[in-house]
């Protein structure tokens, strides 16, 4: 029989990946109909989504096969070993999902916000996220020699303190996530120039980011970093729910952020919804082509009246200025007449 906490894991492992898939599908559909091509942040968020789905599948297997969510006293040693093996894999998958989600958001900021493209703090943060993901993935993968010691101490070998590793990861993850997800707040002074609908969408995105941060804080609060936990199968089930809440909401955050960017951002643009460039990204992407069209367009020059035609029906309002006025003045009068 599946324990109650295990059933909760199955529900979370189903709902959040599906919600992330829907939000990402809407994002890619809007991207295709708007700009017409994908960017680096789109590929990164797809990798993050695949990692999230993998985590959910592994989590469901852990519940149905190895009694994740049950109390450790009713779980066999072999099931505990199998559960720890799956949790080791899930830990790596979670790092990949979290890293690519952060990178996707950072690359999105750099592309749509000109002030961030060459911003030193933004570049430093991007480097930190890369280094953070690679370093933690490597340390988590090789925390035990041999690796199998991580889930089965009976194999012998050596492991450094994985509890300290997890604590360092959670704290650094909280700090980086806080900076990345709440970055739009730095543009709060520009909100007054936006439409009411756009301000509401941005506030909703910020609240979604706060939910992600709260899930990390709660996970840190209930985690046992001393390594002395005795009900490991039950405690892992609680942490697994919070991890999926964090990673799922992060993917949804990144997708909604892009969807909002594809909508008009000001009152003026909202009134021009039927215009060619109702989407800011479309205008930016189409600008080079439009410039090319202007370069190749035929230039139509206004005709300069022939002095011999002065006083005729073709130019009834012109006087004979060929002998007394400059050519520049004649052209100016001609343009004024034609404009009228």
Q: Give the DSSP letter string of 235-276.
A: HHHHHHHHHHHHHHHHHHHHHHHHHHHTS--SHHHHTTTTST
The residue-averaged pLDDT of 254-282 equals 54
* Cα–Cα distance for residue pair 80/190, rounded to 1 Å: 53
145 in helix, strand or coil? strand
The confidence score (pLDDT) of residue 322 equals 46
CA distance 18 to 203: 24
Predicted pLDDT of residue 180: 86
Residue 167 has pLDDT above 80, yes or no: yes
Encode pLDDT of 280-331 as tens digits: 444 444 454 444 544 444 444 445 555 555 455 554 544 444 444 444 454 5
| DSSP 8-state code for residue 115 | H
pLDDT of residue 35: 65
Residue 337 has pLDDT above 60, yes or no: no
Comparison of pLDDT for 167 and 46, the residue scoring more: 46
How far apart, in whole angstroms, are the C-alpha atoms of residue 75 and residue 78? 8
Structure tokens at 151: 């889930």
- For residue 121, is pLDDT > 90? no
Asked if residue 99 has pLDDT above 60, the reply is yes
pLDDT of residue 128: 93
Q: 64: part of which helix (H) or strand (E)?
A: helix 40-66
- DSSP letters of 307-322? GGGTTSTTSTT----T
Q: Are 176 and 126 in contact (CB under 8 A)?
A: no
The whole-number average pLDDT for the span 265-286 is: 44
Res 231: pLDDT? 83
Tokens of 103: 């990178």
Q: Is the pLDDT of residue 14 over 70?
A: yes
pLDDT at 108: 86
Assign 161 a pLDDT band (cuts: 50, 70, 90).
low
Give, for 159, the enclosing helix (H) or strand (E). strand 158-159
* Percent above pLDDT 90 for the chain: 29
Q: Give the whole-number percent of the chain exceeding pLDDT 70.
A: 68
Average pLDDT (161-182) is: 83
Separation CA 36–CA 177 (nearest Å): 30
Buried b (16+ CB within 10 A) or exposed e, 48-81: bbebbbbbbebbbebbeebbbbbebeebeeebbb
Longest dimension (CA), the chain: 112
Question: What is the C-alpha separation between 263 and 271, in angstroms, rounded?
Answer: 12
Closest CA to 49 of 81, 74, 79, 25: 25
CA distance 265 to 279: 8
pLDDT band (50, 70, 90) for residue 202: confident
Helix (H) or strand (E) holding 144: strand 144-145
208-262 confidence digits (pLDDT tens): 888 999 999 998 888 876 555 678 889 889 989 999 999 999 999 888 887 776 6
Average pLDDT over all residues of the chain: 76
Q: What is the pLDDT of residues 101-117, one digit of tens each?
A: 999 988 888 887 777 77
Backbone angles phi, psi at 158, to 5 degrees: -135, 140
Q: What are residue 301's phi and psi, to 5 degrees?
A: -95, 145
Q: How many residues are there in the chain? A: 340
pLDDT band at residue 30 under the 50/70/90 scheme: confident
* Structural Rg of the chain based on CA atoms: 31
Dihedral (CA of 185, 186, 191, 194) sign: negative
Pairing of the two strands 144-145 and 158-159: antiparallel
């Amino acid at each position: 029989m599946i324990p109650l906490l295990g059933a909760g894991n199955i529900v979370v492992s189903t709902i959040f990946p599906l919600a992330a898939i829907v939000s990402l599908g809407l994002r890619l559909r809007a991207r295709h109909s708007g700009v017409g091509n994908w960017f680096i942040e789109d590929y990164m968020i797809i990798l993050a989504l695949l990692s999230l789905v993998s985590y959910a599948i592994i989590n469901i297997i852990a519940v149905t096969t190895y009694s994740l969510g049950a109390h450790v006293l009713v779980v066999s040693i072999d099931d505990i070993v199998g559960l720890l093996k799956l949790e080791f894999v899930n830990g790596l998958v979670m790092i990949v999902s979290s890293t690519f989600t952060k990178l996707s958001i950072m690359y999105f900021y750099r592309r749509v916000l000109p002030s961030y493209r060459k911003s030193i703090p933004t570049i430093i943060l991007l480097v930190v996220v890369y280094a953070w993901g690679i370093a933690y993935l490597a340390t988590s993968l090789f925390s035990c020699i041999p690796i199998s010691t991580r889930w089965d101490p009976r194999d012998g070998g050596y492991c450094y303190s994985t509890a300290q590793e997890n604590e360092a990861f959670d704290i650094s993850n909280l700090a980086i996530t806080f900076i990345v997800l709440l970055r739009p707040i730095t543009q709060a002074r520009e909100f007054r120039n936006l439409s009411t609908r756009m301000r509401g969408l941005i506030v909703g995105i910020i609240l979604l980011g706060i939910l992600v941060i709260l899930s990390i804080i709660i996970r840190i609060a209930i985690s046992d970093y001393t390594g002395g936990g005795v009900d490991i199968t039950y405690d892992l089930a609680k942490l697994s729910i919070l991890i999926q809440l964090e990673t799922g909401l992060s993917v949804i955050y990144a997708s909604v952020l892009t969807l909002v960017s594809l909508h008009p951002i000001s009152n003026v643009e909202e009134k021009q919804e039927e215009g060619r460039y109702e989407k800011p990204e479309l205008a930016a992407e189409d600008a080079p082509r439009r410039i090319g069209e202007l370069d190749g367009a035929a230039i139509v020059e206004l005709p300069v009246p022939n002095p011999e035609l002065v006083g005729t029906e073709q130019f009834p309002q012109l006087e004979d200025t060929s002998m007394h006025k400059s050519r520049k003045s004649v052209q100016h009068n001609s343009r004024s007449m034609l404009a009228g």
